[in-house]
Amino acid sequence: MDTALSIAIQKSGRLSEKSLEMIRSCGIDVNADSRVLKASASGFPLDFLFVRDDDIPQYVADGVADIGIVGRNEYDESGFDLEIVRDLKFASCRLSIAVPHDFEYKGLKSLEGKRIATSYPRILTRILKENGVNAEPVVVSGSVEITVEVGIADAIADLVSTGTTLKMNGLEEAECIYRSSAIMIARHDMKAEKKALLERLLERLDAVMLARHKKYILFNLPKDKLSQAASVIGGMKSPTVTPLMDEGWVSVQSAVDEGRFWAVFEELRRLGAEGILVMNIEKMTE
Ligand code: ATP
Ligand code: ZN
C-alpha cells in the first residue's frame, strides 16, 4: 500500500471546523460528517484521526498519528517534545489571571502565597517560576471560573477569548500571561517518505494562509500616476500593468495586504483610479 500521512484533529470542539476547513482548502476532501474515529481523504494521501484535543500531542508523540492540529496551550501543557511546523493562526486565545472584584491585583507578585485554579498547571507553574512567585496551583479540569466562588481558589488562570464568561462569574481579567493559537505539530523523527508528504501539504497550506490575508485589486489609472500608485500598493513585486485603448490610461493589478486595503483604496482614488475591482484570493505563493 502507498504511504499516507496521518493527521490527528479534534473530533468536536473549537478547533474541529477550522482544522477541517483549512485542510479542505488545500484541495483535500474528507468525509467527516459521520464523526467516525478514522477516515481517509481524497485528493491527497492523508488519513484522519478524530480525537479529543488533549490526546493529540500524545498520539503524535507515540506515532499513532504523524501530525496533529492542536492549541499551543494543549501542546505546551502536554510536555511532549514535538516539532511545531506551523502556527495556523486560528482559535486565538489567551491564558489570563482573573481575580474577584475585591482582589487588589498589582501584577503577578500579588499572587504570592495564593491558590490559583487552572487546567494548565504546567504552563502556570513555569510562568510563576520565571517571575519568582510562589503560589499554589489548584488543578481542575473544567469550570475553572467557579472555583473562587466555591472557595477552593483565590484567583484563576484560564483561557479567555472574549471575557464574558469571567464577568458572568464575578471575575475580572487581571493580566494575560500566555497567548495561544492552533498549531500543527509533528514528530521530529519522521520517515523520509512521510516527511516529503508533509512538505507537500505545507506548501499547499502556506499558499492558503498567505492568500487569506490578501485581496486582489484591479483598476484603471492615468498613466502618469503609475509610479505613485506602485509605491502606495507596495507588495511583493511591481504590479502588473496592461495598456488600455486610451493611451493616457493603464490597467493595473496587484495583491494587497488586507489590513492596508482601505488606506490603499483611498490613496488610489485620490490618484484618480477608476473602476476599482476587489477580489478574494483563494491561494497564492510568494
Ligand atoms: P475536547 O472535547 O476535544 O477535549 P475541549 O473542551 O478541551 O475539547 P475546546 O473548548 O474545544 O476544547 O477548545 C479547544 C481549543 O480551542 C483550546 O485548547 C484553545 O486552544 C482554543 N480556544 C480558543 N478560544 C478559547 C476559549 N475562549 N476557551 C477555551 N479554549 C479556547
Ligand atoms: Zn480538551
Among residues 179, 202, 232, the one where a domain terminates is 179
Atom of ligand 1 nearest to the CA of 13: 11
CA–CA separation, 48 vs 33, rounded Å? 13
Average pLDDT over residues 175-199: 97
Residue 286: inside a domain, yes or no? no
- Of the two residues 258 and 148, the one the predictor is more confident about is 148
Ligand 2 ion: Cβ-proximal residues, 5 Å cutoff: 53-54
3-state helix, strand, coil in the chain (%, to 5): 35, 35, 35
Query: Is residue 31 over pLDDT 90?
Result: no
Q: Please check whether residues 10 and 87 belong to one and the same domain.
A: yes
Query: Is residue 251 over pLDDT 70?
Result: yes
CA–CA separation, 124 vs 131, rounded Å? 11
Residue 101's domain spans which residues? 93-179
Instruction: Supply the pLDDT for residue 193.
Output: 96
Atom of ligand 1 nearest to the CA of 53: 3
CA–CA separation, 85 vs 259, rounded Å? 25
Q: Please check whether residues 85 and 187 belong to one and the same domain.
A: yes
Residue 285: inside a domain, yes or no? no
Number of domains in the chain: 3
Check if 143 has its Cβ closer than 6 Å to any atom of ligand 1: no
DSSP 238: P
Nearest C-alpha to atom 2 of ligand 1 is from which residue?
52
Query: Is residue 122 over pLDDT 70?
Result: yes
Query: Is residue 278 over pLDDT 70?
Result: yes
Q: How far is the CA of 181 from the centre of ligand 2 (A)?
A: 14
DSSP 239: P
For 65, 139, 198, the CA distances from 191, given in Å and listed in that order, are 13, 38, 10
Q: Which three cell numbers stand for residue 20?
A: 477541517
Q: Please check whether residues 57 and 156 belong to one and the same domain.
A: no
Q: Which of 159, 160, 167 to mutate to test the pocket of ligand 1 (most atoms within 8 A of CB)?
A: 159
Check if 119 has its Cβ closer than 6 Å to any atom of ligand 1: no
Residue 161: inside a domain, yes or no? yes
Atom of ligand 1 nearest to the CA of 54: 4
User: What ligand has the least distance to the C-alpha of 159?
Assistant: 1
Q: Please check whether residues 229 and 274 belong to one and the same domain.
A: yes
Instruction: Determine contact, residues 157/95, Cβ cutoff 8 Å.
Output: yes
Q: Please check whether residues 60 and 12 belong to one and the same domain.
A: yes
Q: Show Cβ contacts of residue 105 under 8 Å, excluding neighbours closer than 6 positions.
A: 97, 99, 155, 172, 174, 175
Q: Please check whether residues 67 and 202 belong to one and the same domain.
A: yes
Check if 14 has its Cβ closer than 6 Å to any atom of ligand 1: yes
Residue 269: inside a domain, yes or no? yes
Banded model confidence at residue 173, pLDDT cuts 50, 70, 90: very high
Q: How far is the CA of 14 from the centre of ligand 1 (A)?
A: 5
Instruction: Supply the pLDDT for residue 162.
Output: 83
Q: What are phi and psi of 189, to 5 degrees?
A: -100, 55
Check if 20 has its Cβ closer than 6 Å to any atom of ligand 1: no
Residue 64: inside a domain, yes or no? yes
Query: Is residue 18 over pLDDT 80?
Result: yes
Q: Which three cell numbers stand for residue 239?
A: 504590479
Q: Which of 10, 14, 54 to mutate to test the pocket of ligand 1 (most atoms within 8 A of CB)?
A: 14
Q: Show Cβ contacts of residue 108 under 8 Å, excluding neighbours closer than 6 positions.
A: 97, 127, 128, 131, 133, 175, 177
Banded model confidence at residue 259, pLDDT cuts 50, 70, 90: confident
Atom of ligand 1 nearest to the CA of 16: 11
Query: Is residue 236 over pLDDT 80?
Result: no
Instruction: Supply the pLDDT for residue 235.
Output: 61
Question: 214-223: per-residue pLDDT in tens?
Answer: 899 999 999 9
Q: Please check whether residues 87 and 190 belong to one and the same domain.
A: yes
Q: Please check whether residues 31 and 154 belong to one and the same domain.
A: no
Q: Please check whether residues 196 and 221 belong to one and the same domain.
A: no
**Maximal C-alpha separation, the chain:** 78
188: domain CATH number is: 3.40.190.10
Question: 52-110: per-residue pLDDT in tens?
Answer: 999 999 999 999 999 999 999 999 999 999 999 999 999 999 999 999 999 999 999 99
The proportion of the chain whose per-residue pLDDT surpasses 90, expressed as a percent, equals 85
Instruction: Supply the pLDDT for residue 94.
Output: 96
Atom of ligand 1 nearest to the CA of 165: 27
272: domain CATH number is: 3.30.70.120
Q: Please check whether residues 67 and 205 belong to one and the same domain.
A: yes
Q: Please check whether residues 114 and 172 belong to one and the same domain.
A: yes
Q: Please check whether residues 98 and 76 belong to one and the same domain.
A: no
